[in-house]
């Protein structure tokens, strides 16, 4: 339900003079404990907080996967990532032939471009570097960014070290042309490109901007001006992580200010979310130990796992004239809902193509339609299903210092949001029913049954 008001929807896209613009912002490995408006005072995110104050903050928004490629595939297709063929994290190769999104896939930019939108993607792609999977083949008119899973923030090179053979290669592109911008700090570089994109937009033609940051994912780097916003005595990894988040927040602020200068703030829908939760990966650490710089508190788990910390993420929507300001929606929603929701805002008469798993969230928030009865996730041999407030995990993940021996984990998220207690032994009937639902979903999306 919504706190702060009885309803959140005050109108529809039909109230606007023309189709609204869309800005979709995605961060990388940012935990729900890493945004100030989620109740974490050590975090410095005044512009994301400002965005939430002028829109709706979701307290139970889920990514469709606990890892980047699969999560982003769901954002852009409106489908469970298992249906798109993008499962887990795609590899990064200098041969530019990694398959990802399939040719002819229905994507959010392609749908909006068919409605007359100018579409652009800036930042991390990681949905395939093969020609048919690249942004310009998937509905975008412009692209500035990289294909790999991450980049060095200053050299703009991907590298994989500590294995034989290691690899390192430059990966920054404008459309199909390689460009060189080192040593510009990547988060600021994306801000420059996004702000310039807004400045050149024609008020008569709507736009869709997909801004996909590589921060605060490894490589863990930030200029001194961001580090200086946090106490010198703060834990080193936490300080660097929050500095990277602060740099992202500054870019968000620059875009909000740019929209105001162009008098476009009332006709632009802005949505923000993280692609998955904060990580425990050792490569992000400064001391060679499991990483602790990002926070998923009060949730359990991390990136790569199906406890809520892996895919229960911060999410904010500002939609002037459509969503009332200052609201908090506290029932579960999920990233694959974005495509049908944006489409409904752009054209109330349009309907998503068949095969879309997401649903328009606006009728749900108006009380006209029920939320998803079941939500499903997969990662490796892990499976999870949520039914109302109950969540079942098959093969729950272990992390350093947080080992799990049970093969089945059942939680009531209303009573135990941190998934601390395993109720599987007390609820055998519920375990059986939810397991059957998971098996049916596996068959439906073409996924091999988990052991």
pLDDT at 15 over 80: no
Average pLDDT over residues 142-167: 92
Domain count, the chain: 2
Task: Kindly report the average pLDDT of the chain as a whole number.
Answer: 94
pLDDT tens-digit profile of 79-89? 999 999 999 99
The parent domain of residue 421 ranges over 374-445
Clarify whether residues 327 and 383 are in a common domain: no
118 bridge partner residues:
207
Clarify whether residues 344 and 382 are in a common domain: no
Clarify whether residues 174 and 195 are in a common domain: yes
Average pLDDT over residues 138-162: 95
Helix (H, G, I), strand (E, B) or coil at 105: coil
Clarify whether residues 200 and 229 are in a common domain: yes
pLDDT at 5 over 60: no
Clarify whether residues 326 and 387 are in a common domain: no
pLDDT at 203 over 90: no
**Is the pTM above the cut of 0.75?**
yes
Confidence of residue 328 (pLDDT cuts 50, 70, 90): very high
pLDDT at 421 over 60: yes
pLDDT tens-digit profile of 205-240? 999 999 999 999 999 999 999 999 999 999 999 999
126 is catalytic: yes
Helix (H, G, I), strand (E, B) or coil at 104: coil
**CA 134, CA 141: separation in Å to the nearest integer?**
11
For residue 402, the 8-state DSSP code is B
Clarify whether residues 209 and 321 are in a common domain: yes
pLDDT at position 401, please? 92
pLDDT at position 306, please? 98
Out of 37, 118, 126, 292, the active site residue is: 126
Per-residue DSSP letters for 20-54? Answer: PEEEEEEESS--GGGSGGGT-TTS--HHHHHHHHT
pLDDT at position 18, please? 79
pLDDT at position 2, please? 43
Out of 37, 68, 156, 217, the active site residue is: 68
* CATH number, position 393: 3.30.1120.10
Confidence of residue 350 (pLDDT cuts 50, 70, 90): confident
335 neighbors 71 (Cβ within 8 angstroms):
yes
* CATH number, position 337: 3.40.720.10
For residue 170, the 8-state DSSP code is E
68 is catalytic: yes
Within 10 angstroms of residue 149's Cβ, the number of other Cβ atoms is 22
pLDDT at 11 over 90: no
pLDDT at position 1, please? 44
Determine, yes or no, domain membership for 194: yes
Determine, yes or no, domain membership for 36: yes
Confidence of residue 165 (pLDDT cuts 50, 70, 90): confident
Determine, yes or no, domain membership for 186: yes
pLDDT at 349 over 90: no
| Domain end call among 332, 347, 365 | 365
Residue from 76, 34, 22, 32 nearest 247 by CA: 34
Q: In this structure, which long-range contacts are made by residues 263-266, counting pairs with CB atoms below 8 Å and at least 24 apart in sequence? A: 264/21, 264/198, 264/201, 264/203, 265/320, 266/320, 266/321
Determine, yes or no, domain membership for 450: no
Clarify whether residues 115 and 166 are in a common domain: yes
| C-alpha separations of 107 from 206, 242, 351, 362 in Å | 17, 32, 14, 20
Residue from 301, 308, 451, 304 nearest 375 by CA: 308
pLDDT at 3 over 70: no
Percent of the chain predicted with pLDDT > 70:
96
pLDDT tens-digit profile of 260-282? 999 999 999 999 999 999 999 99
pLDDT tens-digit profile of 361-411? 999 999 999 999 999 999 999 999 999 999 999 999 999 999 999 999 999
pLDDT tens-digit profile of 48-80? 999 999 999 999 999 999 999 999 999 999 999
Clarify whether residues 165 and 188 are in a common domain: yes
Determine, yes or no, domain membership for 451: no
Confidence of residue 146 (pLDDT cuts 50, 70, 90): very high
Clarify whether residues 106 and 154 are in a common domain: yes
| Domain end call among 339, 365, 391 | 365
Clarify whether residues 361 and 379 are in a common domain: no
Clarify whether residues 253 and 292 are in a common domain: yes
Determine, yes or no, domain membership for 178: yes
| Domain end call among 338, 365, 392 | 365
Clarify whether residues 295 and 338 are in a common domain: yes
């Amino acid at each position: 339900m919504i706190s702060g008001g009885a309803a959140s929807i005050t109108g529809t896209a039909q109230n606007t003079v023309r189709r609204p613009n869309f800005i979709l912002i995605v961060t990388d490995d940012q935990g729900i404990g890493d945004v100030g408006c989620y109740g974490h005072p050590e975090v410095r995110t005044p512009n994301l907080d400002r965005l939430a104050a002028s829109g709706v903050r979701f307290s139970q928004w889920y990514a469709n996967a606990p890892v980047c490629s699969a999560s982003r595939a769901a954002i852009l297709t409106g489908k469970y990532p298992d249906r798109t063929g993008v499962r887990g994290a795609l590899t990064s190769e200098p041969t530019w032939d990694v398959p990802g999104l399939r040719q002819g896939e229905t994507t959010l930019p392609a749908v909006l471009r068919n409605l007359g939108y100018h579409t652009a993607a800036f930042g991390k792609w990681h949905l395939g570097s093969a020609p048919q999977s690249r942004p310009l083949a998937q509905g975008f008119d412009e692209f500035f960014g990289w294909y790999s899973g991450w980049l060095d923030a200053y050299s703009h090179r991907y590298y994989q070290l500590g294995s034989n053979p290691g690899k390192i290669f430059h990966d920054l592109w404008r459309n199909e042309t390689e460009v060189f911008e080192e040593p510009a700090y990547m988060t600021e570089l994306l801000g420059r490109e996004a702000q310039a994109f807004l400045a050149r937009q024609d008020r008569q033609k709507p736009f869709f901007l997909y801004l996909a940051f590589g921060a605060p994912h490894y490589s863990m780097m930030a200029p001194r001006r961001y580090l200086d916003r946090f106490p010198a005595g703060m834990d080193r990894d936490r300080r660097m992580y929050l500095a990277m988040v602060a740099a992202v927040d500054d870019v968000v602020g620059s875009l909000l200010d740019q929209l105001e200068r162009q008098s476009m703030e009332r006709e632009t829908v802005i949505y923000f979310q993280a692609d998955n939760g904060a990580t425990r990966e050792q490569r992000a650490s400064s001391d060679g130990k499991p990483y602790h710089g990002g926070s998923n508190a009060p949730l359990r788990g991390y990136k790569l796992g199906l406890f809520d910390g892996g895919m229960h993420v911060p999410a904010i929507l500002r939609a002037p004239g459509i969503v009332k300001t200052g609201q908090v929606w506290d029932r579960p929603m999920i990233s694959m809902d974005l495509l049908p929701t944006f489409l409904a805002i752009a054209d109330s008469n349009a309907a998503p193509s068949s095969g879309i798993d997401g649903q328009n969230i606006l009728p749900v928030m108006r009380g006209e339609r029920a939320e998803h009865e079941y939500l499903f996730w997969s990662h490796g041999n892990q499976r999870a299903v949520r039914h109302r407030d109950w969540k079942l995990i098959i093969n729950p993940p272990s992390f350093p210092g947080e080992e799990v021996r049970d093969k089945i984990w059942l939680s009531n998220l209303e009573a135990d949001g941190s998934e601390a207690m395993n109720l599987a032994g007390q609820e055998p009937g519920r375990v059986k029913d939810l397991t059957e639902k998971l098996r049916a979903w596996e068959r439906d999306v073409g996924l091999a049954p988990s052991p």
